[in-house]
Chain A
Amino acid sequence: MRDRLFLTAMLGPSLALLLLFYGYPILDNLRISFTDLSLLGLKRGGSWVGLDNYRELFQSGDFGDVLFNTVVWLTATSVAIRVLLGLAIAVLLNSSALKRLRLATISRFALLIPWATPPIVAVIIWRWLLDPHGDVNATLMRFGLVDQPIAFFADMRTVWPAVVTVMVWNTVPLIALSLLSSMQTVPEELYEAAELDGATRWQQFRHITLPFLMPNLLVLGLMSVFWSFNNFVYVWLATGAGPGTFTNVLATEVYLEAFVNFRVGYSSAIGLVMALVMGVFGIIYLRLVAQRQLEDTL
């Protein structure tokens, strides 16, 4: 009984907040998605249209393209790069070589910089760096890698890599620092023992470090996927979902429908479909990849 009270006290506040800030808007959105609510008609409310919004969404010609952009470019590519890069940076920062060079502290500070930069500034500065007259092109030309400057954000072959670059720059520190913290909970003795047994550094990493990181890595990966899939600001600020509709993703579509076309009901439907996709993905992910981890954890 004392335990039950303790549990309620421990979990209560968090769950209450989450219910209010997630539960209520989600239910409200569910209701709105079956109406034709307009931003111009907020006061009088929308009228019931049933599944019309969903039907329209799935029948729209470019739903496939937008979904593809969101899944492949916005999510898969950026998460993969972000996680791998974050892991590499964490390994680097944790390495004894770096400690010897006394660069470890400075590096951790340097990590804070991209993270603390507001997205709009990150976009502005990267648009500037990647401009045909900017530093990146100057460097590429200096090293003879290209003979003509590339307009990264205007050329459809390079616009997605450019957007992903901005996203990764702004967000990789979170992954790197989280993994770094995890790495530092690994007991030194394990490495000592492995070294004495003749294990190479790579083997030590694979069999000691990685297993310790796994729970953290899996959670970071999943959260990263959710967050990237739903992300709106980077695409919107960098390309406005253009050229044409080339970089349109689901979240920018939501914004366009809600705040430009004023169709709040329709945009809620899109939001719910997005949540559904992520929900299904999450379930599959947990089933396949994290089942064992989850059991260990819980």
Chain B
Amino acid sequence: MSAQHEIKSPWREPSPFSLVAAALLAFLTLLLLIYPAVVILIGSFRPGGGLISEGAGFTAENYIKIFRSGFGRFVVNSLVICIATTLVSTVLSIMAAYAFSRFNFRLKRPLFLSILFGQVFPWIVLINPLFVAFATVQLTNNYVGMILTYTAFTIPFSVYMLVGYLVTVPKSLDEAAIMDGASRWQVIWLIIWPIMLPGFVATATYTFLLCWTEYLFALAFLTQSDMKTLPLGLYQFFGDDTIDWGAVMAASVVTTLPVFVLFLPIQGQITSGRTAGALK
């Protein structure tokens, strides 16, 4: 494998027109993506979340309020559950994806399709039976139950994504390594993994964010205050007669922030053209 560098070829040099067009489009896109979040951010520093009183000045009261009511605990719970889910789900998914993409076996097509078709069910009808099952084995209000649940719900999509990426990696690579004496397991983690990194990042992001923003199942399975995750914590500010908008905004910012901190180091991993060299 040759080293990867940004090959500066003259043909890739963008014209001034492209630069301007790209800049404009990028600006527009960024605006649409970020503007709502900016409104939330500003609102979190306003009493009433900036929604109900005009011109009411700035305050940090909302943040103080939510942390005093135990919001920090929710951050911890969400972090533990989501990071663990991402790890477990990614490992299991890549194992399954490797099996589907590298082997042929009798039940391959039906199994592959059944994973896909499991997705056709709306989640809300799954809640009651799962709740009864969980309550019977006392898996409610604990991390393991949530991790298993979220892993199960993210595996199908992850497997599909990973199979899609894996088929672009030629089998000859595996065979070469095996002939050199590597075990299958080593092939996955030492050879496939580096090439597939962008795919992993996409899958891991999907898994993490699904777990991070999920509400329906967390609501059903986590009833003790010290076990709740961030989305539940956020819903607590929705009262019957009033909604504490300031707290909701602050809670939303606190919910979004850790995502950045976690993905900061990883985003750099999406580099281009790693496969190109591998073929050589």
Enumerate chain A interface residues (CB-CB to B < 8 A). Answer: 3-4, 6-7, 9-11, 13-15, 17-18, 20-26, 28-29, 32, 42, 89, 92, 94-98, 100-101, 103, 105-122, 124-126, 128-129, 135, 169, 173-174, 177-178, 180-182, 184-185, 187-189, 192, 195-196, 212, 215-216, 219, 222-223, 226-227, 230, 232-233, 250-251, 254-255, 258, 264, 267-268, 271-272, 274-275, 278-279, 282, 286, 296-298
Contacts and interface: CB of A to CB of B under 8 A. Distances in A.
Given A92-B22, A188-B276, A282-B120, A223 B160 contact: yes
B109 to A, nearest CB: 6
B252 A118 contact: yes
B122 interface: yes
Contact of A14 (B14, B95, B109): B95
Contacts of B184: 6
B4 to A, nearest CB: 10
A17 B160 contact: no
Interface in B234-280: 234-235, 248, 252, 255-256, 259-260, 263, 267-268, 270-276, 279
Contacts of B126: 21-22, 25-26, 29
Interface string B188-208: 000000000011011001100
B96 A97 contact: no
A208 B160 CA distance: 22
Which of A4, A96, A118 is packed against the most chain B CB atoms within 10 Å?
A118
Contacts of A115: 205, 209
A129 B160 contact: no
Contact of B99 (A10, A28, A222): A10
Contact of B96 (A11, A117, A189): A11
B259 A112 contact: yes
B109 A15 contact: no
Nearest to A252: B124
Contact of A298 (B109, B129, B206, B274): B109
B209 A121 contact: no
A169 B231 CA distance: 19
Given A21-B152, A110-B34, A116 B213 contact: yes
Contacts of B36: 114, 117, 122, 125-126, 129, 169
B25 A110 contact: no
A254 B151 contact: no
A254 B267 contact: no
B9 interface: yes
Given A184-B270, A185-B198, A232-B122, A297 B99 contact: no
A251 B122 CA distance: 7
